[in-house]
């Protein structure tokens, strides 16, 4: 009876070290909601107690019900016939249980049937569900389109769409990409127009729409004729009625349980969300924080599952007269996987907490403005935390998705020939992981998104402060390594900036982002090592590896590794 919450000491470690006091106080209106709702907490400890109990339910569902169905879901997949999508049987059962458990509107306010939970707790849920069945995240995780409607829609739209999302009666989809607008969303063409009464309609195609069969669709469309860029796009919400045709679903390498649809909108009645022209530049960017974190959680869950498979296999499989886990080369691989996994988790939950504070501060400021209060102090804080969130979100997505590919790769490798066979779960994990560094922005685009914050050294002050403090005896060496990484980073950054070559800068961004990311993660692990002795091992291997890697990154930049880009056409001829 595996419970994916209780059987995972690292998840428990993070849960126990969460600091959500401010976040919960804001979202619970200083605990006044408990007067109206019997299931609202009366104080912080009560709230954390609630989250723990609910996460135990999630862990039980994930480990004992959803995971055993995952192979069936992968095999059967979502299917398409006569214009209709049908989920795999296992997916339907999963969604029914998740609805019965009230988990389909975790971050939505209670007023709309939600649980009003912090984003961080919701993300922990997504991690555990993804460990059980990665494809389920693609449906379950779309509940947070509800949060976009809550934030930017009007009260009528909230009442119309949110309660049914919370109850699980409806699921959602984000219809953003088109055949010619994938990574480049500014090129979206789907046409939005108004009739004489001012009602909006949508006409055009959307492609690669995850869960496009959903009942509620958020659609990015061109509402301003004649415009070519992102400023002519607005966000709409509509019901999936008979004017929306599903043309086909894709036949994918992995996440078979998640239907990826091509949609055709034939004069579909829709409602404008928020203001015109802000579709991409404000609302979709906001939605991306949560969507990217959702994919990071998915990657992390897959990594955990792959690591478990590899460890179990390595302990059972005997060759050369012993369990292969006891062969140094294999145990070294397993330790690498474990260290990567735990460092990923530290980065991830640090990021979710940052996103949580950012979002709740935004809500708080809105509310204070409504009450006519001064918001100068909060606004200054929000400005800084938004910069940090803008850095950490793509950084997490980049790191976790890439690492998930590495961990599943190694997990399959440890299985040897059997890992390549369908009978073993690890091949599914390797296929499922492969999408995580592609969708919701490829790794290359995450680097672009993170590089602004890296080049402006937005964590500079935090690093300065960390460098000044003393760490417990044995950790001083590691703290010095981090100082060295920072020195290498600053030298490399200066080199790149001084060069004033944008092409070079774009390519070198990967090395800079990696150095900066390992620096931040390294400090997180160092802090953890101070409170949990076992984490010293994790911090040690992570930071020693990071230093070696940073030297390589710095050498690549200063050694003009990318100088040959100018000759690309000759090299590639």
Partner 1 sequence: MYNSIVLVKQVPDTTNISGQVMKEDGTVNRSKLPAIFNFEDRVALEFALQVKDRCGGKVIAVTMGPPRASDVLRECLYMGADEAYLITDRKFAGADTLATSYVLSEAIKKIGSADLIFAGRQAIDGDTAQVGPQTAEKLGIPQITYVEEILDISERTVRVKKKIDGGYEILESQLPVLLTVLKDAAEPRPFSAKRLMAYKGAKSLLELEKLAEGNSLLYTDKLVYEYKNRSLFIPTLTAEDLHIDVARCGIKGSPTKVYEVESVVLTGSKPMRFENSKAGMLSLVDMLMEDRILG
Q: Kind and range of the H or E element at 216? A: strand 216-222
Draw the binding track, 177-206, toward partner 1 (x: CB under 8 A; -: no contact). ------------------------------
Residues numbered 47-106 forming contacts with partner 1, rule: CB under 8 A: 49-50, 53-54, 57, 60-61, 65, 93, 97, 100-103
Burial of residue 385, with CB atoms counted within 10 A of its CB: 0-12 exposed, 13-18 middle, 19 or more buried: middle
Pick 101 or 544: Cβ nearer partner 1: 101
Pick 99 or 215: Cβ nearer partner 1: 99
Pick 58 or 305: Cβ nearer partner 1: 58
Q: Cα separation of 28 and 48, whole Å? A: 12
Query: Least distance from C-beta 143 to partner 1, angstroms?
Result: 13
- Which residues partner with 263 through β-bridges? 206, 246
Pair 178, 190: CB distance under 8 Å: yes
Pick 141 or 212: Cβ nearer partner 1: 141
Residues numbered 13-52 forming contacts with partner 1, rule: CB under 8 A: 38-41, 49-50
Query: Least distance from C-beta 369 to partner 1, angstroms?
Result: 31
Query: Least distance from C-beta 29 to partner 1, angstroms?
Result: 17
Q: How many residues bind partner 1 (CB under 8 A)?
A: 20
Query: Least distance from C-beta 69 to partner 1, angstroms?
Result: 12
Pick 38 or 82: Cβ nearer partner 1: 38
Pick 167 or 413: Cβ nearer partner 1: 167
Pick 61 or 450: Cβ nearer partner 1: 61
Residues numbered 110-129 forming contacts with partner 1, rule: CB under 8 A: 115
Query: Least distance from C-beta 289 to partner 1, angstroms?
Result: 24
Residues numbered 242-301 forming contacts with partner 1, rule: CB under 8 A: none
Query: Least distance from C-beta 94 to partner 1, angstroms?
Result: 11
Query: Least distance from C-beta 118 to partner 1, angstroms?
Result: 14
Beta strands in 303-421 (DSSP E): 318-319, 322-323
The β-bridge relationship of strands 216-222 and 172-175 is parallel
Pick 117 or 348: Cβ nearer partner 1: 117
End-to-end CA distance of the chain: 58
Pick 167 or 243: Cβ nearer partner 1: 167
Pair 209, 252: CB distance under 8 Å: no
Rg (C-alpha) for the chain, rounded Å, is 24
- Could you tell me how far CA 35 lies from the centroid of its own chain? 34
Pair 211, 175: CB distance under 8 Å: no
Q: Cα separation of 234 and 273, whole Å? A: 8
Task: Answer positive or negative: Cα dihedral of 561, 562, 563, 564.
Answer: positive
Pair 402, 513: CB distance under 8 Å: no
Q: Cα separation of 15 and 55, whole Å? A: 10
Tokens 């399959």 correspond to 412
Tokens (6 digits) for 93: 């059962």
Q: Cα separation of 90 and 564, whole Å? A: 51
Residues numbered 203-232 forming contacts with partner 1, rule: CB under 8 A: none
Long-range Cβ pairs for the range 537-545 (8 Å, 24+): 537/339, 538/338, 538/339, 538/342, 538/343, 539/475, 539/478, 540/478, 541/335, 541/336, 541/339, 542/339, 542/343, 542/518, 543/478, 543/481, 543/482, 544/478, 544/481, 545/339
452: closest CA among 505, 488, 380? 505
Pick 41 or 419: Cβ nearer partner 1: 41
Q: Is 144 in the site for partner 1 (CB under 8 A)?
A: no
Tokens (6 digits) for 48: 């954390």
Query: Least distance from C-beta 373 to partner 1, angstroms?
Result: 31
Q: Kind and range of the H or E element at 194? A: strand 191-194
Tokens 């569902």 correspond to 61
Pick 168 or 257: Cβ nearer partner 1: 168
| Contacts of 420 by beta carbon, 8 Å cutoff, 6+ apart | 412, 427
| Contacts of 563 by beta carbon, 8 Å cutoff, 6+ apart | none
Pick 55 or 330: Cβ nearer partner 1: 55
Draw the binding track, 460-499, toward partner 1 (x: CB under 8 A; -: no contact). ----------------------------------------
Q: Kind and range of the H or E element at 543? A: helix 535-558
Query: Least distance from C-beta 78 to partner 1, angstroms?
Result: 22
| Contacts of 252 by beta carbon, 8 Å cutoff, 6+ apart | 260, 435
Query: Least distance from C-beta 109 to partner 1, angstroms?
Result: 13
Pick 132 or 482: Cβ nearer partner 1: 132
Query: Least distance from C-beta 89 to partner 1, angstroms?
Result: 13
Q: How far is CA 167 from CA 8, 96, 106, 162, in A?
A: 29, 10, 10, 9
Query: Least distance from C-beta 71 to partner 1, angstroms?
Result: 18
Q: How many residues does the chain have?
A: 573
Pick 39 or 420: Cβ nearer partner 1: 39
Residues numbered 343-362 forming contacts with partner 1, rule: CB under 8 A: none
Query: Least distance from C-beta 360 to partner 1, angstroms?
Result: 20
Tokens 């402006």 correspond to 456
Query: Least distance from C-beta 116 to partner 1, angstroms?
Result: 10
Pick 47 or 389: Cβ nearer partner 1: 47
Query: Least distance from C-beta 49 to partner 1, angstroms?
Result: 8
Q: Cα separation of 464 and 462, whole Å? A: 5
The β-bridge relationship of strands 84-86 and 79-81 is antiparallel
Q: Tell me which DSSP letter residue 142 carries.
A: G
List contacts with partner 1 (CB under 8 A).
1, 38-41, 49-50, 53-54, 57, 60-61, 65, 93, 97, 100-103, 115
């Amino acid at each position: 009876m595996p419970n994916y919450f209780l059987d995972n000491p690292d998840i428990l470690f993070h849960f126990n070290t969460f600091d959500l006091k401010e976040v919960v106080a804001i979202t619970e209106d200083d605990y006044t909601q408990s007067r109206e709702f019997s299931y609202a907490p009366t104080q912080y400890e009560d709230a954390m107690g609630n989250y723990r109990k609910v996460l135990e339910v999630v862990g039980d569902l994930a480990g004992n019900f959803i995971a055993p169905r995952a192979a069936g879901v992968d095999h059967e997949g979502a299917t398409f016939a006569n214009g209709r999508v049908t989920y795999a049987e296992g997916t339907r059962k999963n969604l029914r249980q998740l609805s019965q458990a009230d988990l389909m509107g975790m971050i939505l306010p209670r007023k709309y049937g939600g649980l009003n939970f912090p984003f961080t707790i919701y993300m922990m849920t997504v991690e555990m569900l993804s460990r059980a069945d990665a494809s389920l995240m693609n449906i379950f995780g779309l509940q947070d389109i509800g949060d976009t409607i809550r934030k930017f829609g009007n009260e009528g739209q909230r009442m119309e769409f949110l309660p049914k999302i919370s109850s699980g009666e409806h699921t959602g989809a984000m219809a953003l990409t088109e055949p010619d607008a994938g990574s480049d969303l500014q090129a979206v063409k789907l046409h939005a127009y108004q009739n004489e009464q001012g009602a909006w309609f949508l006409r055009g195609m959307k492609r690669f729409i995850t869960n496009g069969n959903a009942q509620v669709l958020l659609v990015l469309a061109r509402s301003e004729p004649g415009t070519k860029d992102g400023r002519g796009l607005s966000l709409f919400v509509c019901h999936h009625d008979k004017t929306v045709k599903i043309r086909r679903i894709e036949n994918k390498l992995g996440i078979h349980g998640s239907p990826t649809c091509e949609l055709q909108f034939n004069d579909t009645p829709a409602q404008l969300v928020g203001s015109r022209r802000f579709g991409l530049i404000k609302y979709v960017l906001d939605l991306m924080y949560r969507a990217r974190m959702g994919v990071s959680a998915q990657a992390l869950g897959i990594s955990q599952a792959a690591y478990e498979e590899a460890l179990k296999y390595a302990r059972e499989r005997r060759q050369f007269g012993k369990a292969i886990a006891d062969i140094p080369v294999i145990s070294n691989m397993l330790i690498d996987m474990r260290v990567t996994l735990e460092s990923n988790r530290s980065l991830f939950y640090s990021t979710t907490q940052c996103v949580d504070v950012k979002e709740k501060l935004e809500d708080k400021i809105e509310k204070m403005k409504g009450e006519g209060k001064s918001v100068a102090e909060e606004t200054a804080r929000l400005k800084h935390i938004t910069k940090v969130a803008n850095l950490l979100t793509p950084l997490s997505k980049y790191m976790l998705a890439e690492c998930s590919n590495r961990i599943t790769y190694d997990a399959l490798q440890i299985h040897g020939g059997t890992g390549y066979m369908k009978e073993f779960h690890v091949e599914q994990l390797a296929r499922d992981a492969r999408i995580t560094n592609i969708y919701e922005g490829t790794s290359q685009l995450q680097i672009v998104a993170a590089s602004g914050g890296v080049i402006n050294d937005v964590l500079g002050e935090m690093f300065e402060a960390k460098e000044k403090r003393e760490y417990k005896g044995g950790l001083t060496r590691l703290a010095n390594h981090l100082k060295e990484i920072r020195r290498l980073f600053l030298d490399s950054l200066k080199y790149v900036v001084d060069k004033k070559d944008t092409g070079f800068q774009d390519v070198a961004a990967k090395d800079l982002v990696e150095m900066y990311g390992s620096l931040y993660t390294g400090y997180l692990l160092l802090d953890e090592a101070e409170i949990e002795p076992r984490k010293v091992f994790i911090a040690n291997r992570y930071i020693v590896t990071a230093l070696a890697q940073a030297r390589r990154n710095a050498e690549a930049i200063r050694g003009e590794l990318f100088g040959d880009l100018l000759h690309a056409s000759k090299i590639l001829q």
